[in-house]
């Protein structure tokens, strides 16, 4: 199906359909980050290979949002110490994007943790 086209050599495209997927719907899927900055750090991605969220369709954005909400609930059930979340996406090399398949980071936060690397107040 062209809509869910994968890109050869993309690590995220290769993980789609494997046991690494922790949640999915018709247009998006979720994985635990291989190099988490916090325990249960989750990535939510469109199934279609696009470089960043600015190229996603409204349908893909809604699908990712549904998974973000679902993954948030799962994280809260699994770890009662989680009291907040960081949600974001690095878009472009200058912003720190390392894998050019659109993805959103859902990072659980707990009391007393140090600031995330590169984080600014706000």
DSSP-assigned beta bridge partners for residue 86: 107
Q: In this structure, is residue 60 part of a structural domain?
A: yes
Q: What is the CA radius of gyration of the chain?
A: 14
| Three-point CA angle 41, 42, 45, nearest 5° | 150
Q: In this structure, is residue 49 part of a structural domain?
A: yes
Contact predicate 75/42, CB 8 Å: yes
Residue 72's H or E segment, with its range, is: helix 58-78
Q: How many domains does the chain have?
A: 1
Q: How many alpha carbons fall within 13 Å on the CB side of residue 90?
A: 12
Query: What predicted TM-score, i.e. pTM, was given to this entire model?
Result: 0.89
Q: Over the stretch 87-122, which tens digit does the pLDDT of each residue have? A: 999 999 999 999 999 999 999 999 988 776 665 444
Domain span at residue 49 reads: 1-20+44-96
Q: In this structure, is residue 31 part of a structural domain?
A: no
Q: Over the stretch 16-66, which tens digit does the pLDDT of each residue have? A: 999 999 999 999 999 999 999 999 999 999 999 999 999 999 999 999 999
Q: In this structure, is residue 71 part of a structural domain?
A: yes
Contact predicate 41/76, CB 8 Å: no
Q: In this structure, is residue 110 part of a structural domain?
A: no
Q: What is the DSSP letter of 8?
A: T
| Three-point CA angle 103, 12, 54, nearest 5° | 30
């Amino acid at each position: 199906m062209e809509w869910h086209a994968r890109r050869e050599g993309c690590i995220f495209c290769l993980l789609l359909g494997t046991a690494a997927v922790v949640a999915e719907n018709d247009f998006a899927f979720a994985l635990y980050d291989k190099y988490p900055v916090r325990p249960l750090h989750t990535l939510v991605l469109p199934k279609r290979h696009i470089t960043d969220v600015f190229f996603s369709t409204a349908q893909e954005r809604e699908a990712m949002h549904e998974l973000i909400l679902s993954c948030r609930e799962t994280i809260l059930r699994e770890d009662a110490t989680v009291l907040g979340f960081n949600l974001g996406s690095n878009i472009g090399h200058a912003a720190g994007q390392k894998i050019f398949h659109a993805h959103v980071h859902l990072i659980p936060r707990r009391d007393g943790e140090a600031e995330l690397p590169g984080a600014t107040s706000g």
